[in-house]
Structure 1
């Protein structure tokens, strides 16, 4: 069976299903049927607004990120689909803190559900820094299907890397 870098740790029967769908050339069609909708969040400004709306709905008391952008430097093979950075600077006699959310540019072309899953993940870091039980409970509060979306996103990334760019659309 092929090595699936995004699917390490998942049970063998799931990996066998993914492998069978890839081998038969059906994986792209299955993903397209399950996630047919693309999104219109194409600019950094639109992404900031998208994140702000989700944050306002679920995390009203959390600080608003100072910047939200698509980032070409984020790459899934290197393990980053998005980042949430916190910066503290001394300005005069005060300590100023701000945070930035950067989402991998490949999510411009992803189904909307995957973009939302990444945004939810990064927003959860506003309250919970570590990937612990409380973090994932918060993710599931904002997106009840969080774990299924995370798996499907990993399958989509696997398919995306295996397929030529021309056949993805």
Structure 2
């Protein structure tokens, strides 16, 4: 079944109906709601700054997890395919042992987004250092690192819905 709200398919019909009603109030209704809640974009603009941002979160919440070797904004990630970020592990043989390198790639779309959205995506990808699957333990870890994780994820999905229906990016032209 094709939904007019692909980013919100996992949410109850009542929630989807509320979003449809809001969108029915005009093209700008959802944008206004999001911009009121998240008035400005984050200041993380470079891959180096993103790496530092991610490392700081990892250090404060997952000290004993494997190191993250690379963190970048990636313009090749297509949010349309429901990927906001990717966590990959590259295994290489080093001598008589196997070494894993962890990479996190964040969709370039989120280079200009509210800090809450960036934090939610980074927390999600960091949680994969400990939990490979999207199970109960995974989401508990996400909530441990960011107590508002589920709210940020929902709001981010609202933004993606707005983007899909209007084509209008929010936070693009704002000064920091």
If the TM-score is normalised by the length of the shorter chain, which range does it land in?
over 0.9
8 Å contact from structure 1 (residues 128, 135) kept in 2: yes
Instruction: Say what the alpha-carbon RMSD is for the aligned residues.
Output: 1.6
Task: Give the number of aligned pairs.
Answer: 168
Q: Give the superposition deviation at 1:147.
A: 1.0
Segments of 4+ moved more than 6 angstroms: none
CA distance in 2, matches of 1:87, 1:167: 35
Give the alignment of 1:16-165 within 5 angstroms: 16-25=17-26, 26-165=29-168
8 Å contact from structure 1 (residues 35, 111) kept in 2: yes
> 1:114-151 CA distances to partner (integer Å, 9 max, x unpaired)?
00000000000001111111100000001111111111
More divergent stretch after superposition (9-18 vs 112-121): 9-18
CA distance in 2, matches of 1:151, 1:44: 26
Structure 2 counterpart SS, 1:29: helix
CA distance in 2, matches of 1:166, 1:81: 15
**Which residue number corresponds to residue 8 of structure 2?**
7
- Normalised by the length of structure 1, the TM-score is 0.93
Unaligned segments of structure 1, at least 5 residues: none
8 Å contact from structure 1 (residues 107, 114) kept in 2: yes
Q: Give the superposition deviation at 1:165.
A: 3.1
- Normalised by the length of structure 2, the TM-score is 0.90
8 Å contact from structure 1 (residues 81, 118) kept in 2: yes
Unaligned segments of structure 2, at least 5 residues: none
Structure 2 counterpart SS, 1:126: coil
Q: Give the superposition deviation at 1:104.
A: 0.4
Structure (1 or 2) with the greater helix fraction: 1
8 Å contact from structure 1 (residues 71, 103) kept in 2: yes
